[in-house]
Amino acid sequence: MSAISLSIKISLAAFGFLFVLIPTARAKTFLFENQSYELSPSVATATADLGIRSPNVFAAAKRILLDASLPPATLIDSQTISEIEQLADSIDQSARNAKLLLDQGKVLEFDPGQNGQSLDTYALYQLLMQPLTSFSLPVLISFPQIKLSETNNLGINELVGVGESDFSGSPQNRIHNIKIGSQKFNNVLLAPGAEFSFNKYLGDVDEKNGFLPELVIKKTGLVPELGGGLCQVSSTVFRAAMNSGLPITERRNHSFAVRYYAPQGTDATIYPGATDFRFFNDLPSHLLISTRVEGNKLYFDFYGTKDNRKVAFDGPYQYDKKEDGSMKAAWTRTVTNNGEEKTQTFKSTYLPPALFTKTSTVESNIPNPQSNANETPSSQTTE
């Protein structure tokens, strides 16, 4: 046992055992899949009394703590056991087979499948007894019977890249449009060598397709129009394409910096009939796009076949910031593939927000199940 300063609580128990409850000096941190979990256990050491009947209980405890020849049976306090059970509930999952059903080149059903995982509680208990404070979380992995690569001959084998954005604090019509709009891109299949056009797959933005009025940025100010907020979707696609190392062929920033797209310089505005977002699929395989909304976050997952490309970023950097909210930004990406480097730099110029005043308000009858009393909804949405 390490020589550390301990707060010790001692009691003589029945059946000839001495229990010593030892709070650990520091919390122990466990890492798993880019997340950290913290436990602060108290360790109860139970050792046979060995005939000790000393009136000085603390002297007896000292002997037990310092005498390595007395092997203890170690227990964990009930609070830590409860925390471990909760941790297991959050990590444990069953393996799920992959599924990809196609009909004449269109995706009817897609499930990438998942590995099973379960917390190895026995190994975790052992790690809690160690003097170190940082460990990898012991997790047992199981694999599905059917892998994604076995469901198709299009090269849809693995996750290539992910785009993520946060729309917390959005008005309800904006949230509605984001969810409706993102579904337009779920299960989109892009052939190798094909160019992706956001506006093509988005289709008509009208009431028939379920879109609601929300503020958009126009030259005349912030104006309610059907589909306001769809730039949350296009900006998320942009980030997925950037992270996947795919060449961007058309992208434009917003007229002013919108907080939903922090860090500034990573947004991509669209406006049907005027402004599009495009990228090129230069993977050796088809590209399958899958979308999901989790809480207030939107994700675009790109599936295909990875090649040897390596993606590196510089930025985004914000500069020339003014008190009126105007600024500039730059984001550079370098893709290296088989010794060849390709660099793209995306520069953004954001005007003062005060130039774009709200011309009218937007009414919404949609209830907000995710509302937060501490958040103030922003009326600054996208084109």
Residues 33 and 76 in one domain: yes
What's the pLDDT score for residue 364? 66
Residues 134 and 200 in one domain: no
Total number of domains constituting the chain: 2
Residue 73 CA from chain centroid, whole number: 41
Which candidate, 86, 84, 173, 95, places its Cα nearest to that of 362?
A: 173
Q: Are strands 116-119 and 106-111 parallel, antiparallel or unpaired?
A: unpaired
Residues 89 and 207 in one domain: no
Residues 182 and 132 in one domain: no
What's the pLDDT score for residue 174? 97
Is 376 domain-assigned?
no
Residues 345 and 213 in one domain: yes
Q: Which residues are CB-neighbours of 208 under 8 A, at least 6 positions away?
A: none
Residues 204 and 128 in one domain: no
Is 227 domain-assigned?
yes
* Alpha-carbon torsion, ordered 35, 40, 46, 47, to 10 deg: 90
Residues 342 and 233 in one domain: yes
What's the pLDDT score for residue 373? 30
What's the pLDDT score for residue 3? 33
What's the pLDDT score for residue 155? 94
Residues 302 and 344 in one domain: yes
Instruction: Write out the residue range of the structural domain in which residue 320 sits.
Output: 160-355
Is 295 domain-assigned?
yes
Residues 40 and 75 in one domain: yes
What's the pLDDT score for residue 139? 93
Q: Which helix (H) or strand (E) holds 174?
A: helix 172-183
What's the pLDDT score for residue 43? 54
Residues 102 and 197 in one domain: no
What's the pLDDT score for residue 59? 52
Residues 41 and 110 in one domain: yes
Residues of the chain with pLDDT under 70: 1-26, 42-76, 360-383
Q: What is the DSSP string of 120-159?
A: -HHHHHHHHTSS-SEEE--EEEE--SS-GGGS-SS---EE
Six token digits for residue 258: 């919108």
What's the pLDDT score for residue 252? 98
Residues 13 and 110 in one domain: yes
Share of the chain above pLDDT 70, in %: 78
